[in-house]
Amino acid sequence: MFSKKESKLLREQFWISFGKSFPRKWRLYQTGIKGLVLKFHFDLHIAMVSLDLEDLAEEKREALWDKLVSLKSILIDDYLPGATYDSAFVLENNKRIARIYVQKDGVCIHDKDTWEEVMVFLREKMELMESFFDNYREYLLP
């Protein structure tokens, strides 16, 4: 078991190491589409790359989600096989968002032996997610 302080330090070390290992500017929140963000996530159980729709009025979220669903076969066939579409993903704070994601199970941010594997996973999957987004950004614009 790790204290909160030790856990925080490990998380910080991972993300600093990731940034040094793969020094590039990721798109993340700078998509140019309000409410659509790309995210990295790594915790005690999984690593994840996601495209999230959050902080949008319901009708705008549904319209953008419908466009993403229309691209589902392209995303899965050409970019991210195994991607999951979830129109009602519930975050830890009970906030409901729409999310498209790929995840790696059986990894832990507290286990440095999994870090290299996770870093490669995050880089590869985010590059594919960004490529998909870049290729279909114009279509996704409101």
Two tokens, residue 132:
């998909």
Instruction: Give CA–CA dist 36/140, Å, rounded.
Output: 10
C-beta of residue 7 within 8 angstroms of C-beta of residue 83: no
Instruction: Give CA–CA dist 56/110, Å, rounded.
Output: 34
Of 80, 18, 23, residue with least CA distance to 49: 80
Structural domain spans, the chain: 4-140
Of 92, 82, 57, residue with least CA distance to 65: 57
How many Cβ atoms from other residues are within 10 Å of residue 84's Cβ? 14
Q: What is the pLDDT of residues 22-66, one digit of tens each?
A: 999 999 999 999 999 999 999 999 999 999 999 888 899 999 999
Q: What is the pLDDT of residues 67-125, one digit of tens each?
A: 999 999 999 999 999 999 999 999 989 999 999 999 999 999 999 999 999 999 999 99
Of 110, 114, 79, 95, residue with least CA distance to 12: 110
User: 2-11, 103-112, 121-130: which range is least confident on average?
Assistant: 2-11
CATH architecture of 4-140: 2-Layer Sandwich (3.30)
